[in-house]
Amino acid sequence: MSDHLDRDYEHDLATLRDKLLLMAGRVEVMIADAMRALIGRDAHLARKTLEVDHKVNTLEVEIDELCMLILVKRHPMARDLRFVVSALKMVTDLERMGDLAVNICERCIDLASLAETPPYDDIPRMANIVQQMVRDAMDAFVAWDLEGAQRVLLSDDEVDELYHTIFRDLLEVMIRDRASVTCCSQLQSVAKYLERIGDHATNLAEEVIFMVQARDVRHHGKR
Amino acid sequence: MALIASDRAKIRVEHLSFFYGENRVLKDNNIEIAESRITALIGPSGSGKSTHIRVYNRMFELYAGQRATGRVLLDGADVLDRRRIDGMQLRSRVGMVFGKPTPFPMSVRDNVAFGLRLQGIRGAELEGRVMRALQDAALWDELKDRLGALATSLSAGQQQRLCIARALAVEPDVLLLDEPASDLDPIATAQIEELIRQMRGRLTVVMVTRNLQHAARVSDYTAVFYLGEIVEHAPTNVLFTRPSERRTEDYITGKFG
């Protein structure tokens, strides 16, 4: 993305990339804080994290606007076109991830009011993987790194497996102990939100693959 | 590049080089131009696009010190073979329109009739062909009551469409357009583009343009010229979204020009 003769164009593309990275960074922090709030049963932190979402939403609007301006003013072609089109799609995935982090925080607030929760080590593990997926997808985006993006796709299988394990384990707890139903169903929701964040991170990686290789890898069945 | 399977080559250029005196400005050009399709030639100024199409109808032979080597096969016959193909006849089969409108200083009707009269066409047939050419150039409705008006009194966009009508009147096989919208405002450009699109399926069009959006909007195939070489030739949808060559990528994304 370097060496355009038109410096303003170069600047627009760099600004777009930086705003996307900023948005992804905010989403990553939201997911991390949501997990800290869950583990620490910290309703205050969960509420603070909820408030960050409007910054993510603001960035979504700014990035959409910038993409439209680049399309109308610059008529991007080839890799520039794929970069802008990918950015337009990635921004939607990032915004949805922010919303899912909000959903996790809402469950945290509910869980914090409950007396006790069963052990749920796999949920933080799952959260670590999806956060790494987001980071790796964005690193691949910056570096136009095809292999990096492809690795993200593989991680999603692990997330899906963990989700099914967590769901089954919590179901068994609920069968054994009816008093745990409220708590366990909240934790199942948290796992579901993380699983969906993983799906959006996969979308980010697929968009990077399209951007780098001009090849659409969506909806190609099980990888 | 091979044309897509359903297309056939109207023109096959083989090892074409071109010289202004000793200066070689086209270097071993090889390309197939698809029949009844629109092919855009793009590339920086001085890359050889206009020189390349001027070979197709031997326009260059009107100027001293210019020569072409290689073969340009139009329906299999080499247009560079002067013994077998007459230049005047060739230019009626391969018409040309330039960037700046070049109406003759005569009436609208006489402009369109000019080439037809040279072919000996007269009377009712002449009138019918003039009308059809003006209709094909989307000018009939605008000008049917002003056929006697001086062509130079028309707007720039009308003048350019009149030049296209004049080229279409002699029913060429191939139409060469050298920057056909370079002098026009956006409305007149859109009219010219629509006119070119309507030729698809009926006429083989080769269009030189420096306007990448113009090429992307109108053409079926695009070829990229750089320093007298053809860098890449591909279906337009492919070339502007995922070009194969780095020089194409750099040119169309504005990294050199």
Could you report the per-residue pLDDT of A41-54, keeping only the tens digit for each?
999 999 999 999 99
CA-nearest of A121, A204, A192 to A160 is: A192
Helix (H, G, I), strand (E, B) or coil at A140: helix
Residues in chain B, pLDDT under 50: none
Interface of B with A in 184-243 (CB under 8 A): 212-213, 216, 240-243
**CA A1, CA A21: separation in Å to the nearest integer?**
15
Q: Long-range CB contacts (< 8 A, 24+ apart) of A182-187? A: A182/A114, A183/A111, A183/A114, A183/A116, A183/A117, A183/A118, A184/A118, A186/A107, A186/A110, A186/A111, A186/A114, A187/A107, A187/A111, A187/A117, A187/A118, A187/A120, A187/A123
Helix A43-74 vs helix A78-112: angle between axes, to the nearest 10 degrees?
Answer: 160
**CA B55, CA B61: separation in Å to the nearest integer?**
9
Q: What are the chain A neighbours of B253 within 8 Å (beta carbons)?
A: 4, 76-80
Q: Where are the domains of chain A?
A: 2-213
Residue A223's pLDDT is what?
Answer: 47
Only one residue has tokens 């069009």, namely: B205
Residue B149's pLDDT is what?
Answer: 96
Q: Shortest Cα distance from B162 to chain A (angstroms)?
A: 30
Mean pLDDT over all residues of chain B?
Answer: 94
Mean pLDDT over all residues of chain A?
Answer: 92
Q: Which of A1, A70, A77 to mutate to test the interface with B (most CBs of B within 10 A)?
A: A77
Q: Shortest Cα distance from A223 to chain B (angstroms)?
A: 24
Q: What are the chain A neighbours of B249 within 8 Å (beta carbons)?
A: 78-79
Q: Considering only CB atoms, which residues of chain A are within 8 Å of chain B?
A: 3-6, 9, 75-82, 214
Whether residue B175 contacts residue B33, with contact meaning beta carbons closer than 8 Å, is answered with: no
**CA A106, CA A46: separation in Å to the nearest integer?**
7
Residue A115's pLDDT is what?
Answer: 73
**CA B31, CA B248: separation in Å to the nearest integer?**
16
Question: In this complex, do B255 and A9 lie within 8 Å of one another by their Cβ atoms?
Answer: no
Q: Shortest Cα distance from A95 to chain B (angstroms)?
A: 27
Residue A216's pLDDT is what?
Answer: 83
Question: In this complex, do A3 and B255 lie within 8 Å of one another by their Cβ atoms?
Answer: yes
**What ipTM is given for this predicted complex?**
0.72
Q: What are the chain A neighbours of B232 within 8 Å (beta carbons)?
A: none
If one counts every other C-beta atom within 10 angstroms of the C-beta of residue B154, the result is 21
Residue A7's pLDDT band (cuts 50, 70, 90): confident
Per-residue tokens: B56: 């197709």
**CA B133, CA A33: separation in Å to the nearest integer?**
72
Q: In angstroms, how far is CA A90 from the centroid of its own chain?
A: 10
Question: In this complex, do A75 and B212 lie within 8 Å of one another by their Cβ atoms?
Answer: yes
Residue B8's pLDDT is what?
Answer: 96
If one counts every other C-beta atom within 10 angstroms of the C-beta of residue B78, the result is 15
* B221-226/B23-34 β-pairing: unpaired
The tens digit of pLDDT for each residue in B44-75 reads 999 999 999 999 999 999 889 999 999 999 99
Q: Which chain A residue lies closest to B244 (C-alpha atoms)?
A: A78
Question: In this complex, do A81 and B241 lie within 8 Å of one another by their Cβ atoms?
Answer: yes
B244 and chain A in contact, CB less than 8 A: no
- pLDDT higher than threshold 90 for residue A114: no
Residue B45's pLDDT is what?
Answer: 93
**CA B82, CA B86: separation in Å to the nearest integer?**
6
Where residue B58 falls (left for φ over 0; alpha for ψ -120 to 50; beta otherwise) is: left
Question: In this complex, do B254 and A6 lie within 8 Å of one another by their Cβ atoms?
Answer: yes
Question: In this complex, do A77 and B257 lie within 8 Å of one another by their Cβ atoms?
Answer: no
Q: Which chain A residue lies closest to B240 (C-alpha atoms)?
A: A78
Residue A217's pLDDT is what?
Answer: 82
Half-sphere CA count of A137, side-chain side, radius 13 A: 37
The tens digit of pLDDT for each residue in A195-221 reads 999 999 999 999 999 999 987 888 775
Whether residue B227 contacts residue B218, with contact meaning beta carbons closer than 8 Å, is answered with: no
Per-residue burial over B4-43, b if 16 or more Cβ lie within 10 Å, else e, is eeebebbbbbeebbbbeeeeebbeebebbbbbbbbbbbbb
Q: What are the chain B neighbours of A82 within 8 Å (beta carbons)?
A: 241-242
Q: Which chain A residue lies closest to B242 (C-alpha atoms)?
A: A78
Residue A16's pLDDT is what?
Answer: 97
DSSP state of B211: -
| Cβ–Cβ pairs < 8 A, chains A and B | 36
pTM: 0.83
Question: In this complex, do B241 and A75 lie within 8 Å of one another by their Cβ atoms?
Answer: no
Q: Shortest Cα distance from A3 to chain B (angstroms)?
A: 6
Residue A162's pLDDT is what?
Answer: 96
The tens digit of pLDDT for each residue in A138-185 reads 999 999 999 999 999 999 999 999 999 999 999 999 999 988 999 999
Q: Which chain B residue lies closest to A76 (C-alpha atoms)?
A: B253
Residue A32's pLDDT band (cuts 50, 70, 90): very high
Question: In this complex, do B252 and A4 lie within 8 Å of one another by their Cβ atoms?
Answer: no
Regarding the domain with residue range A2-213, which homologous superfamily does it belong to in the CATH classification? Phosphate transport system protein phou homolog 2; domain 2 (1.20.58.220)
Across the strands, what pairs with B221? B39, B235
Q: Shortest Cα distance from A65 to chain B (angstroms)?
A: 21
Residue B257's pLDDT is what?
Answer: 67
**CA A176, CA B60: separation in Å to the nearest integer?**
92
